[in-house]
Chain A
Amino acid sequence: MSLLEIEAYRLAFDGFEGTATVLDGIDLRVEEGESVGIVGETGCGKSVLARSLLRLNPMPPARVLGGAIRFAGDDVLTMTPPALDALRRGGIGMVFQDPVTYLNPVFTIGQQMAEVLRAHAAGTGRRPEKAAIRARTVELLRQVQLPEPETLLARYPHTLSGGMRQRVLIAMALAGEPRLLVADEPTTALDVTVQSQVLALIADLIARMHLTLLLITHDLGVVGAVCRRVVVMYAGCVVEDAPVDRLFDAARHPYTQGLLAAVPDLERPDHRPAGIAGSIPNLRSPPAGCRFHPRCALAMPVCRERRPALVEAAPDHRVACYAATP
């Protein structure tokens, strides 16, 4: 059994101009101990998918059209509220993009960490002592390699740099000893030098704590730095799923290839990045067949009619494209 199994999951948002099928048949498995990156551009549904794991999408306007999400064998979509609480507290830890908005400006770091720890303890029926909470807070802050965690406890979020705030949020996500850490664009708001430090920290945590990681990002470079496997999403569908090295060296899907060709490379200044012509489809009336076909140079008649299934193109490498699979 995989730790996380998503099967044919479909989610729609209802709006004035109609219903947008934001996730259309997502199939994804994450094994215990794996680090998986989900890559895609604005509007591909990657963040909505991440929020679906904890049922954080407001319903309405969101509506599940079908499929299943199982975490450690339990169906997340039909979970009772107490079970969902337990999942949010301990099963899945989440780190979001913007570290500023997820910390409350009027409480100190110590108070906010203690609050999280108390909530976790309450979930298991224990009533921890103050000293124990403090000790655990310090331990967690040390784990994310924040210097002088004792003095940090009394500080307010605005006195920390962006990188330090993101570390605090990672520490909070780790407080419940989650089996799966979901990080949604954890370094997008950070400077490059800080980004590389935070990514190194995440890579280090995975190695030391045997965490399972699901990293959501738009940046292929970020995935390359910490993930073993990459899932590429386009317009609400998974288009390719491959080990990192394979994806970078032998991407099969035209969209993935386009994405790789669009990134400028500092070490190859003569490589001329090329954008992908056209723009993402309107999800209220997506193109029939493959959702990428209007922008695809390899589009064949069949691409306009039938949606390609995600099939194994090579060992451990799945692609949803007629042109890429014989």
Chain B
Amino acid sequence: MTPLLATQALHCSFARPHGARVKAVDGVDLALAPGEALGLVGESGCGKSTLLRLLLRLQAAESGTIRFAGVDVTRATGRALAPLRRGVQAVFQNPHAALDPRASVFAAVAEPLRIQARLSRRALADRVQGLLHEVGLPAEFLWRYPHELSGGQKQRVCIARALAPGPKALLLDEPTSALDVSVQAQIIDLLAALREREGLAFLFVSHNLAVVRQLCDRVAVMNAGKVVEQGAADAVLAHPQHAYTRTLLRAVLPPRPRSLQGSTAPGQEAAR
């Protein structure tokens, strides 16, 4: 079966002062099958966010290919890019910044529809209201502005906006890390339900391994721009093979108290 979204030997690097280059994404091969939930874990600076931006074509890859439903979209523009824009949508980490402070909830959710579909005023209003309903927001939120919403409500608006074009895959960049735990559980439940109902594929970027284990079938672990380990979520998180995966797992604070293990000195965390 053709993967929905796949990368092959994808590279991207950034210039640093003094002429150095940092390889943010360093030869990544990844495939997301239709309907699959793939977790992408790693710490800040490991390249997972850059990879996401490459997949969304917000940033240009240096080399390698990105395929959407088998078609090379690495350098596609204009009409050739339209299938990707319809089929792949994103939910960003910080819902406070992901919504235009001057746009109402209605305007935010209607935006992709205005761009991609020609709907009558009435059809547009109906569709927006339907989308809000799908993410569990009542119609009275339509004319509120982002600053009047809680973090969880904003994230629901972002999810409704991402669903509007009828995508086949959602790329989720730490969608719950800016939210409270009691809200996080609600959003995770919502995402799981949506996935089931719409048959969506997820690429779920997170540093929270517990959430990844809950939501994802497969996990890929990234470190320094490379995927160091990937496999079934249960297998990777229960029996990690790579040393970095083990370090990551050791650092997770269990919800129940436990004395801390390991050294107190700064370890491998790279200085900038």
Query: A-side interface residues toward B, CB under 8 Å?
Result: 41-42, 145-147, 158-164, 167, 191-197, 199-201, 203-204, 218-225, 244-245, 248, 258-260, 262-267, 269, 272-276, 279-280
Contacts and interface: CB of A to CB of B under 8 A. Distances in A.
B214 A225 contact: no
Nearest to B207: A192
B177 to A, nearest CB: 10
B153 A146 contact: no
B260 A203 contact: yes
Nearest to B178: A42
Contacts of B229: none
B140 interface: no
Per CB-CB distance, the 4 closest pairs between chain A and chain B, nearest first, are A224-B257, A221-B253, A275-B185, A275-B186
Nearest to A269: B213
Interface in B238-263: 247-260, 262-263
Nearest to A244: B257
B12 to A, nearest CB: 21
B254 A163 contact: no
A164 B253 contact: no
10 contacts: A194-B43, A194-B266, A196-B262, A200-B263, A201-B264, A203-B264, A204-B264, A225-B257, A273-B185, A275-B183
B185 A262 contact: yes
B152 interface: yes
B272 to A, nearest CB: 6
Contacts of A199: 253, 260
Q: Please indicate which of the listed interface residues A194, A225, A266, A272 has the most CB atoms of chain B within 10 Å of its own CB.
A: A266
Contact of B181 (A145, A262, A267): A262
Contacts of A266: 209-210, 213, 237, 249, 252, 254
B271 interface: yes
Nearest to B43: A191
B62 interface: no
Given A200-B264, A269-B237, 7 more contacts: A192-B43, A197-B262, A197-B267, A200-B262, A219-B181, A220-B255, A276-B182
User: Interface extent on B, as a size class?
Assistant: 35 or more
B268 to A, nearest CB: 8
A276 B187 CA distance: 11
B1 interface: no
A225 B260 contact: yes
B210 A193 contact: no
Contacts of A248: 255-257
A280 B267 CA distance: 39
A191 B265 contact: no
A264 B214 contact: yes
Contact of A145 (B43, B247, B265): B265
The secondary-structure label for the interface of chain B is loop
Contacts of A164: 266, 269, 271
B198 interface: no
A195 B266 contact: no
A264 B207 contact: no
B234 interface: yes
Given A224-B255, A266-B210, A42 B260 contact: no
Contacts of A272: 214
Contacts of B152: 279
Contacts of A262: 181-182, 184-185
A248 B253 CA distance: 14
Given A248-B257, A273-B185, A191 B269 contact: yes
A167 B271 CA distance: 13
Contacts of B258: 224-225
Contacts of B249: 266
A253 B210 CA distance: 25
A161 B153 CA distance: 33
B182 A41 contact: yes
Nearest to A204: B264
A193 B257 contact: no
B253 A222 contact: yes
Q: Please indicate which of the listed interface residues B184, B214, B248 has the most CB atoms of chain A within 10 Å of its own CB.
A: B214
A164 B264 CA distance: 12
B253 A225 contact: yes
Contacts of B126: none
A162 B45 CA distance: 12
A221 B254 contact: yes
Contacts of B269: 161-164, 191, 193-194, 197
Contact of A197 (B208, B213, B265): B265
A265 B210 contact: yes
A93 B220 CA distance: 41
A134 to B, nearest CB: 22
A91 B221 CA distance: 45
B100 interface: no
Given A161-B270, A191-B207, A197-B263, A273 B254 contact: no
A292 B239 CA distance: 41
A196 B182 CA distance: 22
Given A266-B237, A275-B185, A145 B180 contact: no
Contacts of A273: 181, 184-185, 188, 214
Given A225-B253, A259-B181, A196 B260 contact: yes
A145 B264 CA distance: 8
Contacts of B213: 264, 266, 269
Contacts of A163: 266, 269
Nearest to A265: B255
A275 B258 CA distance: 24
